Each structure stands twice: as C-alpha cells, then as structure tokens.
C-alpha cells in the first residue's frame, strides 16, 4: 500500500504558478463601447412614435365659412347639443356694415369717373394691384424669358464667331482646306442659332401680347364689362352675401365639436370653422399630431393604440397621414369602440 507523502513548504514555493493573462485595457474599452452602442440602438428601435396632441371625437361634419368676415362670437361651446337651425356662429355685424359701405362707395366713384380712365387708375390704384396681379406677373415672367432667350442667342453668336475665325486661320487648315471638325462644329452651332432665334421670336411675341392685354385692360377701365367693374361687382355680391350670413346655423341635430376660431378671428370664405357631430353616430375618430420624425414610422392602415384620459387602451387604424412643413396630422378610426366612450381632447396615440 502506497503512502502519501506531503511536500515540504520550500517545494511549494518553488513550484511554477500559471496565471491567466488579462486582456489589454484598450480591448476592454472597445468592448464596453460596442456594448453601449448596441444597447442604444436597441433602445432606439424600441421607441414607439407618440402623438404630441390628439382628440377623440365622433365622426361628424366640418362647418366652413360661407363668407369672408370677422367672428363676433362662437355661440355653441364644445359638447353642447344643438337643434337643426340653431345659430352656432355669429359674424361681426360692424365689419359687415363697413365692408358693404366701402364697396358701395367704390361703385359710386366708378360711376362718377367711368369716362376718365386716368382718374380711375388713380382712385383704384390699391385695388388694381390685386385686380391686375395675374397679368402683371405674366408680363414680368415673359419679359424675363425674353431676356433669357436673347442672352442664349448672343452666347451662341459669339461661339460661332470664334469658330469661323479659327476656320480662316492657315494654321488650322488640313490639306489646304479648313479643318473638317471646325466645319462640322460651325454647322451644328448654326442649327442651334436657328432654334434660338425661333425661341426668342416666340418669347417676344408672347411678351408683346401680354403687354397689349395689360394696356387694353387698363384703357377700358370705365366700360361696363371691364375687369375693374367685374371686380367691384363681385365684391359687392360678397358684401350682400355677408349681410345674409350674419349667423351660421346648424344643418342638423348635433353635438358641437372643436371650434377652430374664436371671437375676433378673421376668416376667409370656405375656411374651416368648427365640427358638428351627429348625436347618434357610431363611428369614433381620432385626430392626432405627430412630429415629422415619428410620422415617418407610421403607415396608412397601421394599427395604433389610443390611450384615453382614464388609461383605457383602444385600438385604432390609421386612415390618412397629412405631412405639413413642421408637423404631421394623422387621422385614425377606432376599432370596436366601447358603448360608454366619451369624446376627449386629451388622449395619446402610440404606434405599435
């Protein structure tokens, strides 16, 4: 039977010890950096696009302004029931009276000075800037085009002159004749000059016609069918329409939605004023605003999560995405809305 013999302490001290070599510091730093970058990329990918503001509402009808004017008062606050024929918005009657009186004064001045185009030009100078804005811009554009075509023709003529001088130089002759390459270039530039001359002629003709049209319009200001009279007549009809539309009425029984204007708002014809929602509509919609970066992650027909004020989560499908210069407006419709759902401006929309 073998005996186990212990080694003396001196032997243990003399034994070779194998140690694992530690990685260099730079390799360790590179590894840590890569891990952090990878974790950051995973975090970015996990971020869901979220609306900056959103409104949950029943699908209704948008109400647009029938006239230009100033809003005197929004008569129906959001959430209030209205009956068909109830007034919902009133336009400022003082603005309507002032605008009507202004147009009547213009018509009177026109009648008193209709036989003197020069006087009409002075009286209606501020208005004529708008009346003739289209034809004036056309003259400016065609004049610029004519100048461009003339410059192009002049450049081609200079190039042809250089080529013809080179063709006459003895040093450029080949076998006693002008260089064939220069001859070919001369022919090609000659064709280009012909085309440029036609383009200049067309541009000059168009500019001359626009000039004549402008002169004819300004010289016939006093005629009953002149552009000035038609403009004044159109403005007068607008003023009459404003008088008839001092109040805007609900077209059906509804619940008032968001108002996009307030007291003192200056509105144009066909501008969106407010939403009216039918009382018994079953469809629920969400209008949400996203940043352009978040909107890039969204697609029409995508399913999103709508989080209500009380934390309830609803599913909604994207109906449309309209991108503006700074923000994007996304419209969604709620899938299977609960019966007790309430309208709210304070909801969040998250992409999945």
- For the chain, the structural domain boundaries read 53-86+250-351
Strands (E), 175-296: 177-178, 247-249, 254-259, 266-267, 272-278, 284-291
The span from the CA of 48 to the CA of 46, in Å, is 6
72-95 burial: b if 16+ Cβ within 10 Å, else e: bebbbebeeebeeebebbbbbeeb
Q: Which of 21-30, 207-216, 223-232 has the highest mean pLDDT?
A: 207-216
**Span 306-318, average pLDDT:** 91
pTM, two decimals, is: 0.41
**Bigger pLDDT: 182 vs 60:** 182
Which pair of tokens denotes residue 169? 């130089």
What confidence category does residue 87 fall into, taking pLDDT thresholds of 50, 70 and 90? Answer: very high
With a CB cutoff of 8 Å and minimum separation 6, the contacts of 85 are 249, 250
- Interval 20-46: pLDDT, tens: 445 555 666 666 666 666 665 555 555
Q: Which stretch of 142-146, 168-172, 248-252, 281-285 has the lowest confidence by average pLDDT?
A: 281-285
Contact 214, 135 (CB under 8 A): yes
Which pair of tokens denotes residue 333? 């419709």
User: Three-state DSSP class for 60?
Assistant: coil
What confidence category does residue 18 fall into, taking pLDDT thresholds of 50, 70 and 90? Answer: very low
**Span 150-172, average pLDDT:** 88
Output the CA angle 246-249-251, nearest 5 degrees: 150
Closest CA to 51 of 287, 286, 352, 290: 290
pLDDT of 288: 93
**Beta-carbon count within 10 A of 334 CB:** 19
**Span 155-167, average pLDDT:** 89
Residues above pLDDT 90, as percent of the chain = 27
**Bigger pLDDT: 92 vs 124:** 92
User: Three-state DSSP class for 23?
Assistant: coil
């Amino acid at each position: 039977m073998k005996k186990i013999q212990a080694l003396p302490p001196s032997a243990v001290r003399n034994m070779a010890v194998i140690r694992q070599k530690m990685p260099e510091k730079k390799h360790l730093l590179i590894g840590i950096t890569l891990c952090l970058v990878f974790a950051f990329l995973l975090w970015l990918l996990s971020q869901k696009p979220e609306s900056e503001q959103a409104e949950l509402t029943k699908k209704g009808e948008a109400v647009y302004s029938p006239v230009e004017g100033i809003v005197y008062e929004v008569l129906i606050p959001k959430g209030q029931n209205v009956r068909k024929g109830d007034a919902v918005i009133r336009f400022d009657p003082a603005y309507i009276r002032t605008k009507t009186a202004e147009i009547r004064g213009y018509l009177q001045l026109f009648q008193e000075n209709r036989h003197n185009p020069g006087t009409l030009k002075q009286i209606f100078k501020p208005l004529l800037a708008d009346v003739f804005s289209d034809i004036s811009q056309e003259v400016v554009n065609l004049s610029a085009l004519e100048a461009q075509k003339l410059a192009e023709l002049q450049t081609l003529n200079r190039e042809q002159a250089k080529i013809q001088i080179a063709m006459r130089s003895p040093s450029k002759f080949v076998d006693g004749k002008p260089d064939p390459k220069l001859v070919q270039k001369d022919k090609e530039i000659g064709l280009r000059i012909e085309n440029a001359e036609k383009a200049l002629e067309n541009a000059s003709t168009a500019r001359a016609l626009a000039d004549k049209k402008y002169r004819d319009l300004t010289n016939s200001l006093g005629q009953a069918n002149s552009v000035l009279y038609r403009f004044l007549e159109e403005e007068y009809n607008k003023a009459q329409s404003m008088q008839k539309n001092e109040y805007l009425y609900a077209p059906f029984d509804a619940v008032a939605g968001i108002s996009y204007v307030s007291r003192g708002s200056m509105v144009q014809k066909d501008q969106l004023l407010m939403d009216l929602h039918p009382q018994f509509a079953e469809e629920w919609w969400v209008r949400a605003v996203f940043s352009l970066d978040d909107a890039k992650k969204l697609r029409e027909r995508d399913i999103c999560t709508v989080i209500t004020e009380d934390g309830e989560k609803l599913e909604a499908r994207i109906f449309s995405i309209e991108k503006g210069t700074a923000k994007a407006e996304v419209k969604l419709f709620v899938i299977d809305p609960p019966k007790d759902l309430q309208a709210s401006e304070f909801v969040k929309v998250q992409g999945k």
